[in-house]
Structure 1
Amino acid sequence: MHRIGYVLADGFQVMSLASQAVFEYANVVAGDQFYAIENFSVAGGLVRSSLGMLVETSPLSIPGLAETWIFTGVNTPLTNPSSPELLAFARKAGAQARRMAGICTGGFVLAEAGLLADRRATTHWAYSKELQRRHPDIKVEDDRIYIIDGPLWTSAGMTAGLDLALGMLEKDLGVDVARSVAHKLVMHQRRSGGQSQHSELLMLAPKSDRIQSALDYARRNLANSLSVEQLAESVHLSPRQFTRVFTAETGQSPAKAIESLRLEAARLMIEQGRHSLDTIARESGFRDRRHLREVFLRGFGVTPLALRRDARRDKA
């Protein structure tokens, strides 16, 4: 049985505990009690979340109580530093545990304990610059869902904790079990660690259902040319009216938005590593792999092959 200890402090984010469902359903899919989960805090007893919910915890005493330790985040890491007792425990656990993880701003605990020195790490995008400023010896990558560097795992904010937990599950029990658990949790897709924290559809954030429908149509048909005329026809507007409304609601021209959606789709396929670059270019609507490379360099500052190498390193 693999024991997982969640470490909570006053003001912890309830969303951090959502990742426990991944391990719960892993036991269901595996048909065995592979994981045992327990909540801990420095003193034990009831710990209050940022929402006010109380959770019963066991006291942190022996690092060997768990093979994997997961430190939960708080909403105010900059004004709510970790206690000396918590940091002392993290250092001891880091020397003994199989894995250590920080969900969202839980990465600050690992950083303050000195465990992330000279390692790659990520955290919620809103706090990544401060993490880098406070700990210049960490290589902070602020546009990653989660990062694995040896036994240290860190994730972006909120729902990224689910992706981190699925990554652990895949390493422990294999990709088929991880995929089955994601399906049971009704997760639309499993995000790899190297994937961006940001979604182009969310960033466009159109105000009307009509423009949202046009974006949904575009995402389903990226392999096609997707002219303004096609998009306008899909939502029963004239091309001129569609362009005006689209730009007003999203702040981008239709052409620029479609290019961003193509890049996001190509990036996801590259990270998954299942298709050739020629296939990816064709299915995401680029002329060929050379065109894909040009737009990728302009949009991300890296080549598709470099991204694929990074994604494989994260999964190794």
Structure 2
Amino acid sequence: MTVGFVLADRFTLSAFSTFVDALRLAADEGDGSRQDRCRWHVMSASGRPIVSSAGVEVMPTSGLLPPESLDYVAVVGGLLPRSGGPARPIDSMTEAYLVRAAERGRPLVGVCTGSFVLARLGLLDGCSICVSWYHYRDFVELFPELSASADRLFVKDGDRITCSGGTGAADLAASLVDQHLGQALARKSMRILLQDRARPGVGPQPQPPSTAQAQDPRVKRALLLMEQHVGDPLSVEAIALELSIGARQLERLFRDALGIGPNAAYARLRLERADWLLRMTEHSVTEVALECGFADCAHLSRSYKASFGRPPSAVRPRRRQAADLAKI
């Protein structure tokens, strides 16, 4: 199995290193790092070092190789522009190369925010896409027409693979090793990386704070779905359908795991998000209400006071309070 890596400017070092290390450990016997069963190349059109988001530079090992010589072309993303990343994370020659690789039927892999790079090039149109819960809202804002989820580690959709990043990159690499070289080598890689086994792609992402108290993976995934649909709440039936279980079973799972039903958990999650926005941002109460799926300002105010014992105006940042007073 041969993988060509395209590293975006300010790429995430951990996502790249865990992916390539899972390949390295499967490549030969022991820990010799010989590229016998697996080969990997860090490709670059310029040949210059690529700087990670941690400031560590990685030297390319090759130019842009013929797509036909690779089993996968993996794009490792990193910092987004709003976080100080570059407006254009890869150069025009590499963009054209990715389009050409897609036209020639090469499987493309988006790791971490590598999915953003592929989406900008129109290479994820019509695909199911996996992104990190941390970047889900960024993705939806930039690509509202695409179908993205943040409730699993990675998604394979034909010749497009997208991965949430982080340690999930090792799980994806192990899955590819298993597919090409067998389960024994995949297991070897993960055990040397001190993981008991590779997690499946449908495993829930570890996890925004709202899911920390849940142990059942189905409840975690349900909470992640709620998290990414705070502003446009899903019905319990829709969530259950996404998890391939019945609404009554979902109700039982929530009561066993959290002591409350899914509707109550959803309401609590939305109120927690509203509380954070009220305390940490200068959004108006109406803006917070709409962003958190409440019908209007009055609906949020009633629910918030019933839950926290004070009205939303009591927790406004001082700058917002001053601005509100100035309008009186």
The verdict on a shared fold, with TM-score over 0.5 as the criterion, is yes
| Cα deviation code 1:258-296 (max 9, x no counterpart) | xx22x238889xxxxxxxxxxxxxxxxxxxx99854334
| Residue matched to 2:217 | 264
The aligned counterpart of 1:75 is: 79
When residues 28 and 120 of structure 1 are mapped into structure 2, their CA distance, relative to the original with a 3 A threshold, is same
Distance 1:77 1:62 in 2: 30
Native 8 Å contact 2:203 2:217 kept in 1? no
SS in 2 for 1:59: coil
For residues 64 and 44 of structure 1, do their structure 2 counterparts lie closer, same or farther at Cα, with a shift above 3 Å needed? farther
Secondary structure of the 2:49 match is strand
Give the secondary structure class of the aligned counterpart of 1:50: coil
Give the CA deviation at 1:105: 0.4
Letter in 2 for 1:64: E
- Distance in 1 between residues matched to 2:160 and 2:46, nearest whole Å: 24
Q: What is the match of residue 42 of structure 1?
A: 45
Aligned to 2:184: 176
Structure 1: segments with no counterpart, 5+ residues: 205-256, 269-288, 301-316
Q: Distance in 2 between matches of 1:45 and 1:32?
A: 23
The answer on 1:52 being equivalent to 2:55 is yes
Alpha carbon RMSD of aligned pairs, Å?
Answer: 3.0
Aligned-residue sequence identity (percent) comes to 24
Q: 2:155·2:161 contact (CA, 8 Å) conserved in 1?
A: yes
Alignment of 1:4-153 (within 5 A): 4-18=3-17, 19-29=19-29, 33-57=36-60, 58-60=62-64, 62-78=66-82, 79-80=85-86, 81-82=88-89, 83-153=91-161
Alpha-carbon shift at residue 137 of structure 1 (Å): 3.2
Contact 1:68 1:97 in 2 (8 A): no
Which residue in 2 is equivalent to 1:312? none
Indicate how the Cα distance of structure 1 residues 65 and 52 shifts in structure 2: closer, same or farther if over 3 A, else same: farther
- Give the number of equivalent residue pairs: 224
In 1, Cα distance between equivalents of 2:193 and 2:165: 18
Deviations 1:150-189 (CA, angstroms, capped at 9, x unpaired) = 0111111311111111111121122232222211221144
Shift of residue 203, structure 1, vs aligned partner: 5.6
State the distance in 1 between where 2:14 and 2:25 align.
17
Partner amino acid, structure 1, of 2:28: V
Change (3 A) 1:33 1:296: same
> Does the CA-based 8 Å contact 2:154-2:202 persist in structure 1?
yes
Matched AA of 1:148:
K
Secondary structure of the 1:148 match is strand
Q: TM-score, normalised by structure 2?
A: 0.60
Q: Distance in 1 between matches of 2:249 and 2:24?
A: 41
Give the secondary structure class of the aligned counterpart of 1:144.
Answer: coil
Asked whether the equivalents of residues 67 and 97 of structure 1 are also in contact (C-alpha less than 8 Å), the reply is no
Question: In 2 relative to 1, CA 149–265 (structure 1 residues): closer, same or farther, beyond 3 Å?
Answer: closer
Decide which moves more: 127-136 or 23-32: 23-32
The verdict on how the C-alpha distance between 1:32 and 1:53 changes in structure 2, with shifts beyond 3 A counting, is: closer
4+ runs deviating over 6 angstroms: 265-268
TM-score using structure 1 length? 0.62
| Structure 2 CA distance for partners of 1:72 and 1:63, relative to 1, 3 Å | same
Deviation at 1:149, TM superposition (A): 0.4
Q: Is the 8 A contact 1:7 1:69 kept in 2?
A: yes
Aligned-partner Cα distance in 2 for 1:175–1:77: 39
User: 1:117 Cα deviation (Å)?
Assistant: 0.4
Matches within 5 A, 1:226-245: none
Q: Where in structure 2 are there 5+ consecutive unaligned residues?
A: 222-245, 255-260, 264-328
Counterpart CA distance in 2 for 1:126 and 1:290 is 27
**Secondary structure of the structure 1 residue equivalent to 2:156:** strand
The CA distance in 2 between the partners of 1:294 and 1:11, in whole Å, is 43
